[in-house]
Amino acid sequence: MQSPIQPPRRTTRGLTSVAEAGPVASLAKKARELDELDRKLRQTLPTPLRDQVRFADLRDGRLVFLAPSSAWAAKLRMYQAQILSSARALGAPAGSVTVKVAPLPPEEIIPDRHKPLSTSAARHLKAAAASLSDPVLKSLFLELASHAENPGESDT
């Protein structure tokens, strides 16, 4: 009798996250570092300004910030010296600050898909409930009818 063929053993120790392998790993690491630098640099700014601007990149010794309008960009430029000294204290090789105006994308407004129950529909539900012998179903119809927009008014 032959023994069953054993599949070859794998030499890896489990699944590796995409963020931990190859070029994606270095990109993910840079994104984490930039996010951390963004958080730390914006903490040095006054409250209304820190909520409006975002740190975007550290490129060739330039700290690149994004502001939603030219007014916020002008306010941020007044803090260039403070931002540079904070960045250097954090170990970032920064020599200048660049502020770009990039309006935030508009918030997506999800339309309300709720349609009110008309008084006419409520009347029909109540009539249907009156004809039912099942008390559970009857109470469900009446409950649904109670959701009418203006139960005292009639439809025209």
HSE, side-chain direction, 13 A CA sphere, residue 47: 0
Domain boundaries along the sequence of the chain: 21-101, 116-156
User: Is the distance from CB of 75 to CB of 44 less than 8 angstroms?
Assistant: no
Helix (H, G, I), strand (E, B) or coil at 65: strand
pTM above 0.85, yes or no: no
pLDDT tens per residue across span 67-104: 999 999 999 999 999 999 999 998 888 899 999 999 87
Bridge partners for 139 per DSSP: none
The answer to whether the Cα torsion of 12, 14, 20, 24 is positive or negative is: positive
The pairing of strands 54-59 and 62-67 is antiparallel
CA 59 to chain centre: 26
Query: Tell me, which fold does domain 21-101 have in CATH?
Result: GMP Synthetase; Chain A, domain 3 (3.30.300)
pLDDT tens per residue across span 40-70: 999 999 999 999 999 888 888 899 999 999 9
